[in-house]
Chains A and B, each alone.
Chain A
């Protein structure tokens, strides 16, 4: 599989008058076309900074990004590839109906064609939101809102999906169901996705491969492919497999070693 996205030696630091805070240090990895990659790491290690760099919202201080082996000019990611970004909260606008919310990306991209409208309508039907298209976001449950946020992201036909802990605001049962739904949608459409999470179970259940980042400044300390003999649509079935337990134990060990190895005296 050729790499859709590659990062080479990417480093980034935040600056203020008190000094600089290194966030990322020499990060390199590839994301092949169609892969679902999960990135885990300790809290505050710079996972969201990494996604912002991939999305072109931040410009790396050193290092390069490549889209299909073509270098991406600094901060130009959004112009070269279509990026769908799901944030921790759904951020549906209360002053818009669900339908107006899901077509927001199409409006911004001036792509409100009949074909795209039909696509959105189909997605709303597929994910049981069609009956709620004229409702306000506050009238929907957390799970439904997050599904609407995913449809808003998918409506623009993204080449790459960036998921920044999109299930963290949901209760645990809704979280399992919504994450399975979202993973199904991503897999069925063959989209390439990068998921940031601090939940090891979520990473193993959803992803084809898991990258582990170190404490800040983050660097890649472990890379683990996930091969499961279970229906990924059923999160409980996945969690009951021996492969899942092996993966979980391995990741747990890596993260625990990372925590203890670099604890200041």
Chain B
């Protein structure tokens, strides 16, 4: 039988099936390698800790971390600390998204405003935000508000610059079209700039969620009595490295979950439009 003309009852050709199975095999190998890597790493770590190749007091061990995680789940402190960090991160992220959209829109809409504010935005964006944290504590005190502001300060300036740059790169011919159809600058904003920038806004959100988390952890290092950032700093002070590493692992999981959530939103948008 001619291989090129061969076909299956389900309508998929033999060549396509070969391609699909090769693709699946490749995917499985990659997943297996990833799992193998983490298993080898954890096994080596555990063995090294048990045989005293490394000092478990300073380096902890996978079983030590699992035990601490179990303890956190049993006494519900996991939910309290993770919950507060989650809440602060979500609040920071939503405010960053809203503020940066609003500011970028104003910068685009009011001619000359961007030219005036550009050097200040660049300076504020370049500033190491951790340097602001002590000031925030003096001005706002310690507490959730300060931590949310710290989260905002890390992400907002970069996000404004990113969105505004995207807005200014809209196709000038599309704007011309709006004006020739009798539209105003406001119409150009709502019909071209904002709808055309949805992919940019989504990719900016992907960056912002990570930066908000970084800002919240910086804030919790300095001005909190609850949260994963607090656990990390407290754990390092009292040499409870299991507490520190467990908190870092939970943070990784949170960052991944947020990223996936926005990625799914992006996929949904691409599918729809």
Contacts and interface: CB of A to CB of B under 8 A. Distances in A.
Interface stretch (B15-23, B66-74, B103-111, B169-177): B169-177
Contacts of A78: 179-180, 182
Given A57-B180, A88-B173, 8 more contacts: A82-B182, A85-B180, A91-B174, A93-B196, A105-B182, A108-B183, A108-B191, A156-B182
Contacts of B187: 108
Query: Interface majority SS on B: helix, strand, loop or mixed?
Result: helix
A108 to B, nearest CB: 4
A162 B177 CA distance: 12
Contacts of B174: 91, 93
A47 to B, nearest CB: 15
Given A105-B181, A108-B187, A91 B173 contact: yes
A95 B196 contact: yes
Contact of B181 (A94, A95, A156): A156
B195 interface: yes
Interface in A65-111: 78, 82-85, 87-89, 91, 93-96, 104-105, 107-109
Interface residues of A, number: 24
Query: Interface majority SS on A: helix, strand, loop or mixed?
Result: loop
A119 interface: no
Interface of B: 171, 173-174, 176-183, 187, 191-192, 195-196, 198, 273
B181 A136 contact: no
Interface string A162-181: 10000000000000000000
Nearest to B183: A108
A151 interface: no
A46 to B, nearest CB: 16
Interface string A134-165: 00100000000000000010001000001000
Contacts of B177: 85, 87, 91
Contacts, number: 53
Contacts of B196: 93, 95
B28 to A, nearest CB: 34
Contacts of A108: 178, 181-183, 187, 191
B171 A91 contact: yes
A57 B179 contact: yes
A55 B177 CA distance: 11
B181 A89 contact: no
Given A108-B178, A136-B273, A156-B182, A95 B173 contact: no
Nearest to B194: A95
Contacts of B273: 94-95, 136
Contacts of A156: 181-182
A246 to B, nearest CB: 35
26 contacts: A57-B176, A57-B180, A78-B179, A78-B180, A82-B182, A83-B180, A85-B180, A87-B173, A88-B173, A91-B174, A93-B192, A93-B195, A93-B196, A94-B273, A95-B195, A95-B273, A104-B181, A105-B182, A107-B191, A108-B182, A108-B187, A108-B191, A109-B181, A152-B181, A156-B181, A156-B182
